């Protein structure tokens, strides 16, 4: 079965075409600047030259039509006809409490995703645009939605509730939802496979650290706690997001600086984190470069980032009463040897011991960086959310046939 995985943003659309007989990627690409007269489509068929096309793409239906044209193009295409695509999988950011896993798209499912616009005003609306656009271009082809929050729906009430008036949960569903679920689920599964141990027996801490960053405690294969909350602002220090702070800081600063709601929101989401402390960059590569050159602000930013990451690992080890595996993934987790080194350096009380040489290895494959003596397996596993969505789509479509 060939299927298309789509990740629709408000003005962009990423896609990957899979052949599920061997899970190979036939082509992938990206449409940027949707809604403008100079939209850019970048199409990369596996084993062939990448092509770029600039044209006017005003909305998502046209974007998908253009993608399908490229996929069936005589020169750059990988398909004879569009009919070969037998299913479409979509990434959706927020599944609220309604979706505990991926789901076949029906009118009820779409209505539910719409109801969740309130909780994810920036991210859920484009997902609906993507689903409608795929329906128009490929009528009758089954579609599946995979949610960033679904994996975390296994959290217990004592974990997901905030200690604030319960009426806020009843009225507005204020609670912890988490994010990056597809990635946490994928890397925890790959970790168990890599170690050749049943996931049911493992206590895994997965660190998805990229531009956004979150950590999940995975026990017995299910998410038992995760660092992001109602929104992706909570938890770890990130590129431009603050992560955890005293909630009173917000009202205090709003009062002192006469900030509006949107100014306070923007301060915490776009002007905080590594960017705020370093004063120069939100990118970990710049921060570690700055640290190597002896820049005190970059050094402080790095130290805070590492310290907060390490504290969370400690708290999740406590939450699960132990940890067997620590997984690093996403941009920073996969590529920054120094972040991994510094975090693990002070986890010796857990019995963590990493091999400096193995830690330095750069590779696109899952790998172990801990020593044979280490009581905790430390792994680096490149994440692959698209593949996870493709697998869910494949499974759900087959079950429904």
Partner 1 sequence: MNFKKIGVIGGGTMGQGIAEMLAAKGLDVLLVEETTDKLNHAYSMIETSLDKQLEKWAITKAEKKLILSKIHKVTHFAELGTCDMVIETISEDLDAKRQVFKQLDQVCPSNIILASNTSTLSLTEIAGSTKYPERVIGMHFIYPVAKINLVEIIRGLKTSEATFEETKHFVEEVVDKHGIMVYESPGFVTSRIICLMINEALHVLGEGVASAEDIDDAMRIGYQFQYGPLEMADRFGLDSILAALERMFREFGELKYRPSFVLKKMVRAGSLGVKTGEGFFKYNKDGDRV
Of 2, 270, 367, 395, the residue at the interface with partner 1 (CB under 8 A) is: 270
115 assigned ligand-binding residue: no
332 assigned ligand-binding residue: yes
Give min distance, CB of 65 to partner 1, in A: 18
210 assigned ligand-binding residue: yes
Q: Does 189 bind partner 1 (CB under 8 A)?
A: no
Residues 6+ apart with CB under 8 A from 20: 1, 2, 3, 390, 391, 394
283 assigned ligand-binding residue: yes
196 assigned ligand-binding residue: no
Nearer to partner 1, 193 or 257 (CB): 257
320 assigned ligand-binding residue: no
Give min distance, CB of 228 to partner 1, in A: 21
Distant-in-sequence contacts of 195-204, Cβ < 8 A, 24+ apart:
195/325, 195/377, 195/379, 202/324, 202/325, 203/320, 203/321, 203/322, 203/323, 203/324, 203/325, 204/323, 204/324, 204/325, 204/326, 204/327
Which region, judged by CB under 8 A, interacts with partner 1, from 214-222, 242-250, 266-274, 298-306?
266-274
95 assigned ligand-binding residue: no
Which region, judged by CB under 8 A, interacts with partner 1, from 46-54, 69-77, 256-264, 289-297?
256-264
Note whether 148 and 350 are within 8 A (CB): no
Task: Give the Cα separation of 304 and 325 in Å (integer).
Answer: 23
Nearer to partner 1, 141 or 259 (CB): 259
Which region, judged by CB under 8 A, interacts with partner 1, from 167-175, 201-209, 263-271, 351-359?
263-271
| 244 SS3 class | coil
Task: Give the Cα separation of 183 and 377 in Å (integer).
Answer: 19
Q: By CB under 8 A, what part of segment 29-48 binds partner 1?
A: 35
Residue 118 structure tokens:
């309130």
Q: Does 304 bind partner 1 (CB under 8 A)?
A: no
Alpha-carbon radius of gyration of the chain:
22
Residues 6+ apart with CB under 8 A from 68: 82, 85, 137, 138
138, 29, 131, 132: which is closest to 83 by C-alpha? 138
Note whether 336 and 283 are within 8 A (CB): no
Q: Give the position of tokens 């206590």.
A: 203
Task: Give the Cα separation of 237 and 323 in Å (integer).
Answer: 22
Nearer to partner 1, 96 or 239 (CB): 239
User: Which of 19, 22, 37, 148 is an active site residue?
Assistant: 148
Nearer to partner 1, 1 or 264 (CB): 264
Q: By CB under 8 A, what part of segment 190-249 binds partner 1?
A: 240
Q: Does 257 bind partner 1 (CB under 8 A)?
A: yes
Give min distance, CB of 301 to partner 1, in A: 17
Which region, judged by CB under 8 A, interacts with partner 1, from 167-175, 231-239, 252-260, 289-297?
252-260
Q: By CB under 8 A, what part of segment 52-71 binds partner 1?
A: 58
Give min distance, CB of 253 to partner 1, in A: 9
Note whether 359 and 342 are within 8 A (CB): no
Strand ranges (E), 122-226: 143-147, 203-209, 213-219, 222-226
Of 100, 271, 367, 395, the residue at the interface with partner 1 (CB under 8 A) is: 271
Q: What share of the chain is helix, strand, coil (3-state, %, to 5)?
A: 45, 20, 35
Q: Does 259 bind partner 1 (CB under 8 A)?
A: yes
256 assigned ligand-binding residue: no
Task: Give the Cα separation of 283 and 277 in Å (integer).
Answer: 12
Nearer to partner 1, 267 or 338 (CB): 267
**Residue 148 a catalytic site member:** yes
Residue positions forming the annotated binding site: 7, 14, 91, 208-212, 283-285, 331-335, 385
Residue positions forming the annotated binding site for substrate: 91
Give catalytic residue positions.
148
Interacting residues with partner 1 (CB under 8 A): 35, 58, 240, 257, 259-260, 262-264, 266-267, 270-271
């Amino acid at each position: 079965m060939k299927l298309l995985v789509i990740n629709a943003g408000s003005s962009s659309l990423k896609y990957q075409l899979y052949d599920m007989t061997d899970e190979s990627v036939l082509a992938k690409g990206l449409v940027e600047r949707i809604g403008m007269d100079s939209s850019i489509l970048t199409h990369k068929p596996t084993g062939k030259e990448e092509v770029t096309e600039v044209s006017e793409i005003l909305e998502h239906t046209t974007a998908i039509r253009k993608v399908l044209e490229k996929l069936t193009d005589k020169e750059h295409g990988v398909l004879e006809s569009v009919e070969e695509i037998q299913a479409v999988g979509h990434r959706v950011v927020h599944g609220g409490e309604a979706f505990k896993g991926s789901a076949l798209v029906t009118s009820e499912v779409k209505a539910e995703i719409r109801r969740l616009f309130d909780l994810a005003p920036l991210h859920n609306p484009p997902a609906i645009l993507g689903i409608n656009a795929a329906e128009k271009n490929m009528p009758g082809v089954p579609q599946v939605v995979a949610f960033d929050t679904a994996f975390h729906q296994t959290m217990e009430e004592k974990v997901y509730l905030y200690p604030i008036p319960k009426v806020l949960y009843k009225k507005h569903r204020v609670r912890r939802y988490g994010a990056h679920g597809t990635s946490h689920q994928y890397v925890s599964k790959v970790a168990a496979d890599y170690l050749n141990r049943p996931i049911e027996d493992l206590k895994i801490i997965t660190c998805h650290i990229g531009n956004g960053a979150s950590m999940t405690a995975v026990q017995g294969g299910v998410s038992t706690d995760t660092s992001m909350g109602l929104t992706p602002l909570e938890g770890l220090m990130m590129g431009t997001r603050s992560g955890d702070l005293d909630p009173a800081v917000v009202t205090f600063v709003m009062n002192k600086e006469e900030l509006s709601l949107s100014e306070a929101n923007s301060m915490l989401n776009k002007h905080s984190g590594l960017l705020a402390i370093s004063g120069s960059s939100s990118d970990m590569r710049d921060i570690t470069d700055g640290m190597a050159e002896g820049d005190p602000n970059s050094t402080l930013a790095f130290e805070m980032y590492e310290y907060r990451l390490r504290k969370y690992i400690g708290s999740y080890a406590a939450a699960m009463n132990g940890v067997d595996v620590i997984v690093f993934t996403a941009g920073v987790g996969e590529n920054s040897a120094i972040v991994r080194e510094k975090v693990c350096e002070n986890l010796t009380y857990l019995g963590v011991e990493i091999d400096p040489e193995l830690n330095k290895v750069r590779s696109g494959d899952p790998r172990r960086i801990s020593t044979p003596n280490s009581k905790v397996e430390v792994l680096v596993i490149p994440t692959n959310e698209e593949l996870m969505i493709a697998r869910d789509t494949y499974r759900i479509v087959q079950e429904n046939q």
